[in-house]
Amino acid sequence: MKYISTRGKMEPASFLDAVMTGLAPDGGLLLPESLPNVSDKLEAWAHLSYQDLAFEVMRLFTTDMPAEDLKALIDKSYATFRAPDVTPVVPVGNVHILELWHGPTLAFKDVALQFLGNLFEYILEKRGGELNILGATSGDTGSAAIYGVHGKKNIRIFIMHPEGRTSLIQEKQMTSVLDDNVYNLAVEGTFDDCQHLMKTIFADVSFKEEHSLGSVNSVNWARVLVQTVYYFYSYFRVQERTGASEVQFSVPTGNFGDIMAGYIAAKIGLPVKKLILATNENNILSRFFNTGEYSLGEVVPTLSPSMDIQVASNFERYLYYRSGCDAEKLTEMMKHFGETGSLRVDGSDDLFAAGEGNTAETLATIRKVHDKCDYTLDPHTAVGVAVAEKFQCSETPTICLATAHPAKFTDAIEQALGEAAHHPVLDKLSDAETRCDTIANDEAAIRDYLVEKTRS
């Protein structure tokens, strides 16, 4: 299996090279040169454990890794999860909640980043050298990435978050990790600013190579690949319960990475009737799927801060497929977007439905589900459930992706229910020592910081 850039100006790379590359040198994102069809494997996969299913799915895309090494990395990565089945599926009212938050930082990003941290370490042990990870986070990616690599040899991690725009607990989870190889940067701007800084720095290939920069954001193909597994796993669990041969997924999303994994799963043979894309007031993605226009707006702070994004970094992968895998056409499209802040795609994709769950709907959904089902949703998952209700289908079960434990967003839960949500892992952080550097929203300042810390 080889990997190519969406912009077509990179030689095909192996999986391990693709992981270390992150963002392609031509500014594009990496995708498999071709996709397998697993339709004939579904029956054999139906009753596998999460770990064994992960192995079967991922081995198709990791052909330059010995099978026993891949299996060992998967087992090591999910040994850190608090649920034996890694991502349990819980019936809640009319939907099935896919709980993705049983990892170390209580967020869905752990599913991919525990594996990716171990994979980075594995590659460096094989090849030598060092890796300096530069990442941007709207909340959960940062802590999950830090927990994936803190204390690991020959790896440093630099995580940029928008100052004052993550939840206090999210910030505390990141900044309370005091290992010498961890650097937290509070950028005076939005998440989109952080993401732009990261992509601009990665686009300077000589700087990237000189300072051994790598990515843990979902621009890294490995993130998307690992996340496809829980779409298959939850499908099998719901099929066991309901006998349904087809499901639909509701995915709260801001950066398009999680739903891109569902799109790949569908493309390789998972029986998906609909991918329901759920946004909050930052609705650039839902507007696109309803109008064909992808155009920037102002970032609106909400109760679901991890979705307070306008430029969705993974969307280019989807546009590549929508453009007929035409790298030249895709490149022109992205150039136009960079110059004007908008682009348009004619036609529609019947696989997708899209809607918006605003703040009032988010709070009402948290209250309703708590009162009727004695189950507490975090605000991001509540957006997913609120939008899913607009597309309910009696013949097709709906699986809603639960992206974080509610205790990570105490302000929203208190507004909805009048009392805070708790988790012992998070309660321990209240008095934790923290370390973080505030930095200007300026590319030169970030570069100087990286140079200083990687040469020390």
**CB proximity list for 442: less than 8 A, separation 6 or greater:** none
Residues 130, 455: Cα–Cα separation, whole Å: 12
Q: Please tell me the predicted confidence (pLDDT) of residue 16.
A: 97
Q: Please tell me the predicted confidence (pLDDT) of residue 170.
A: 87
Q: Please tell me the predicted confidence (pLDDT) of residue 208.
A: 92
Q: Is 109 a catalytic residue?
A: yes
Q: Please tell me the predicted confidence (pLDDT) of residue 456.
A: 64
Active-site annotation holder among 41, 71, 109, 267: 109
User: What are the Cα distances from residue 62, in Å, to 126, 153, 173?
Assistant: 16, 24, 32
Q: Which among 384, 130, 434, 421 has a CA at the least distance from the CA of 248?
A: 384
Q: Using only C-alpha atoms, what is the Rg of the chain?
A: 20
Q: Please tell me the predicted confidence (pLDDT) of residue 313.
A: 86
Q: Please tell me the predicted confidence (pLDDT) of residue 189.
A: 94
pTM: 0.94
Q: Which among 238, 241, 242 has a CA at the least distance from the CA of 270?
A: 238
Residues 122/69, Cβ–Cβ less than 8 Å: yes
User: What are the Cα distances from residue 358, in Å, to 58, 281, 307, 376, 379?
Assistant: 36, 6, 12, 18, 10
Six-digit token string for 134: 């530069």
Domains delineated in the chain: 89-106+222-425 (3.40.50.1100)
**CB proximity list for 255: less than 8 A, separation 6 or greater:** 138, 218, 309, 312, 313, 314
Residues 220/196, Cβ–Cβ less than 8 Å: no
pLDDT by residue for the chain (456 residues), tens only, comes to: 999 999 999 999 999 999 999 889 999 999 999 999 999 999 999 999 999 999 999 999 999 999 999 999 999 999 999 999 999 999 999 999 999 999 999 999 999 999 999 999 999 999 999 999 999 988 778 899 999 999 999 999 999 999 998 888 889 999 999 999 999 999 999 988 998 999 899 989 999 999 999 988 788 999 999 999 999 999 999 999 999 999 999 999 998 999 999 999 999 999 999 999 999 999 999 999 999 999 999 989 999 988 988 889 899 999 999 999 999 999 999 999 999 999 999 999 999 999 999 999 999 999 999 999 999 999 999 999 999 999 998 899 999 999 999 999 999 999 999 999 999 999 999 889 999 999 999 999 999 999 999 986
Residue corresponding to tokens 């990496």: 30
